[in-house]
Chains A and B, each alone.
Chain A
Amino acid sequence: MHQYIEVEENTTEEALEAALKELGVSREQVSVRVLHEPTKGILGLGAKLAKIRVTLKEDISSTPEAILHEILSHIGLEAEIESQIINGSVHLTVSTDNPGILIGKHGQTLNAVEYLLNCILNRSSLVKKKVFVDAEGYRERREQTLVDLAHRAAAKVKQTHQEIVLEPMPPRDRRIIHVTLQSDEDIRTYSRGEGMMRRVAVTTREGYEPNAKQYD
């Protein structure tokens, strides 16, 4: 269950520093095992970097997996959770007999689970980094859906020269739309509305007013 990472650097000290930065925690929150000391070798031959294994010391009951498991079992879902560290962030992948309930409409339930998990972790755990939750490859599928939507909207805007305002979306979904259309020379995107009603608008380069977002 314990999460660990292995780091190689010139010295064990440097390796530890890099590992702590990667995990976003302080020295007291980890245990360190030196896998091998650095060796200089002869004339640069056979030189080896220091290698250490850094393990997160945490109360088992407050690991992201344990809390997620608890939340899901309260919803009535039997789930298996796989934990991975990608770019220093914990990514949890859930397999369950009923992914439809877990994901919800447009990922609403999955996002709510992820948000509450992070709220709880920020309170009870030492790790302040965001934890990501996915199920059945949903995030990737959603991204593809949004990329397609963005291209369709852009095509229509070019044809009609009329602005299109998409439905309200959470920040991460809006971001995908903006990034997708960023390279399109004839199209501009911006967000309008506040909070949970914030939406992406797709418009032509000519129709774009930089200040529009302030006056909607």
Chain B
Amino acid sequence: MLKELIEYLAKSLVDNPDQVSVNEVEGNTVTILELSVVPEDLGKVIGKQGRTAKAMRSLLLAAGVKARKKAILEIVEQR
């Protein structure tokens, strides 16, 4: 599942894994995955020049091909 993939990656990357949550917003053609982390961990999931976020999106695309689904990753700051 695409949501679990993002959840697993995010939790493995951050310092506060228990504060990671992924909200799934189902659309007609695509699913939006809203990854939320605490402000201190934002850099960990985004990375230098967005490299980590880009890598996660690459994996999401690959997993989507396999699962015949399309998902978009959005990163939000936890309030």
Select A101's contact among B12, B47, B56, B62, beta carbons within 8 Å. B62
A44 on the B face (CB < 8 A): no
Please name all residues of chain B whose beta carbon is closer than 8 Å to the beta carbon of A5 when the two chains form the complex: none
Given contacts A101-B65, A119-B47, contact A109 B12 (CB under 8 A): no
Q: How many residues of B contact A (CB 8 A)?
A: 22
Q: Is the CB of B62 within 8 A of A75?
A: yes
B8 touches A116 (CB 8 A): no
Q: Mark A76-118, 1 if CB is under 8 A from B, else 0.
A: 1100000000000000000000100110100011011101100
A70 proximity list for chain B (CB < 8 A):
8
A196 interfacial by beta-carbon distance below 8 Å: yes
Indicate if the CB atoms of B58 and A104 lie closer than 8 Å. yes
Q: Does B26 contact A (CB under 8 A)?
A: no
Of the candidates A67, A108, A124, the one having the most CB atoms from chain B within 10 angstroms of its own CB is A108
* Contact size range, A: 20 to 34
8 Å CB interface, B1-32 against A? 1, 4-5, 8-9, 12-13
A108 and B12 contacting across the interface, CB-CB below 8 Å: no
Q: What's the A-B contact tally at a CB cutoff of 8 Å?
A: 64
Closest to A103 in B: B62
CB distance from B11 to the nearest CB of A (A): 10
Instruction: Decide: A119 and B58 in contact? CB cutoff 8 A.
Output: no
Asked whether, in the complex, the Cβ of B47 is within 8 Å of the Cβ of A71, the reply is no
Given known A74-B4, A104-B58, contact A119–B66 (CB-CB < 8 A)? no
A116-B52, A120-B13, A195-B49 known; A75 vs B59 contact (CB < 8 Å)? yes
The answer, among B9, B12, B49, for a CB contact under 8 Å with A196, is B49
Per-position 1/0 for A124-167, Cβ under 8 A of B: 10000000000000000000000000000000000000000000
Q: Chain B residues with Cβ under 8 A from A172's Cβ?
A: none
A123 and B13 form a contact (CB under 8 A): yes
A116:B5 contact, CB within 8 angstroms: no
Chain A residue with the shortest CB-CB distance to B55: A112
Report the Cα distance A76→B1, complex, angstroms.
8
> A residues within 8 Å of B by Cβ?
67, 70-71, 74-77, 98, 101-102, 104, 108-109, 111-113, 115-116, 119-120, 123-124, 195-196
21 interchain pairs (CB within 8 A)?
Answer: A67-B12, A71-B8, A74-B5, A74-B63, A75-B5, A75-B62, A98-B66, A101-B62, A104-B61, A109-B61, A111-B58, A112-B54, A112-B56, A113-B55, A116-B59, A120-B9, A120-B12, A120-B13, A124-B12, A195-B49, A196-B49
